[in-house]
Amino acid sequence: MAYRKLGKTASQRKALLRNQVTALLYKGKIVTTEARAKEVRRTAEKLIAMAVKEMDNFDTVTVTAKVARKDKDGKRVKEVVDGKKVTVYDQVEKTIKKDRPSRLHARKQMLKVLYPVTSVDPEIRGKKKATKKVDMVARMFDEVAPKYKNRNGGYTRIVKIGQRKGDAAMTVVLELV
C-alpha cells in the first residue's frame, strides 16, 4: 500500500505521524497541512477502530493488595520494630480489569504508535505536582471508543482553512467527529 513520504526520512516521518496522532487523540483536533492530515487520519482511524472492537473485551477480577498506610499529609506511617523504622501496610481488596488476549494485543499495538502524554494543571503551573501522566490507551478504551460504538468508520473530519502564508501549503483542521 502506498503512503506519502512528506519530504522526510523514515524515522522523521514516523515520529511526526506518532506525534500528530497522539495530539489528535488527546486534544480532539489539530491544524496541519492537507497531506499530513490524510496520513494522520489513516493511523488514527485504525487505532479508534481497534479500540471500538476491543472496548468490552476484558474480565473483572478482585485481588488483594498490600498498600502503605498514610497519614493526613499523605506520608507513609512508620513504626519501630526491633529498633528499625518499618512502613505499615494494609491489605486492600481491589477490582481490576484484566485484558483478554486480543485486547492486550490491541493495547500493545496502540502503545507502538501513541507517545506518553503528560498533562499540566494550569492553576499550579511550574511545580512538579502540577504534572501527571495520562494513560492514552486506557483513555482510548474508556472515553473515545464508547463515543464511536455505533459508528462504522469515519471517525475524523478534515476541514480546509486556506493556504499557509510562507509556502502556500493548504492547511486543514483535522478533528474527531
CATH number at residue 141: 3.90.1030.10
**pLDDT above 90 for 110:** yes
8 A C-beta contact, residue 155 and residue 177: yes
| Residue reference for cell 469515519 | 154
Please tell me the predicted confidence (pLDDT) of residue 25. 96
How many domains, the chain?
1
Arithmetic mean of pLDDT, 28-40: 97
Domain assignment present for residue 102? The answer is no
Confidence band, pLDDT 50/70/90 cuts, at residue 1: low
Residue 11 domain flag:
no
Among 5-14, 19-28, 114-123, 151-160, the least confident range: 114-123
Q: Is residue 175 part of a domain?
A: yes
Does residue 125 sit within a domain? yes
Domain with 158 in it: 20-55+117-177
How far the first Cα of the chain sits from its last, in Å, is 26
